[in-house]
Structure 1
């Protein structure tokens, strides 16, 4: 249920065993999952569906595919087996 705020961002989501308060503008929910994980919780997704908004727009930027693709856009050079590494003159840690 929309709370009546001017920005259409605050909702009360009726669930079992309790109701949750979701603020889409602040990206918080009283269940705490959204704040801890950066991903929208079930209650936030319910509020987004009611508001006609996409859940992908509310995820942390580290959790979206574009960021993933940017991270792995470069190749990693292969390295030889540890047996072929040069021996160090220093003590092992």
Structure 2
């Protein structure tokens, strides 16, 4: 459920046994999985879907393909033998 804020970014996700609060602007969820892992939890995904936003735009920058490509962009020269 949308909380009524002007930016359409604060939601209350109803579930069992408790309800969770999601703030898309701050990237926070009371479940805390989003803050710990950098990957949006199911509660955040529900809020993002309701807001019409893509969940891949709300993950940590280290978990993107751009970061992966930057990590493996350098070429490592092979060595001649195992002794070296």
Q: If the length of structure 2 is used for normalisation, what is the TM-score?
A: 0.92
The CA deviation at 1:71 is 1.2
Q: Distance in 1 between matches of 2:15 and 2:78?
A: 51
Residue of structure 2 in register with 1:55 after alignment: 55
Residue of structure 2 in register with 1:69 after alignment: 69
Higher radius of gyration, 1 or 2 = 1
Q: Distance in 1 between matches of 2:64 and 2:2?
A: 27
Residue-pair matches, total: 83
Residue of structure 2 in register with 1:36 after alignment: 36
Question: Structure 1 unaligned runs (5+)?
Answer: 86-93
Q: Distance in 2 between matches of 1:41 and 1:78?
A: 41
The CA deviation at 1:78 is 2.2
- Equivalent residue of 1:74, what SS? coil
Q: If the length of structure 1 is used for normalisation, what is the TM-score?
A: 0.83
Question: Structure 2 unaligned runs (5+)?
Answer: none
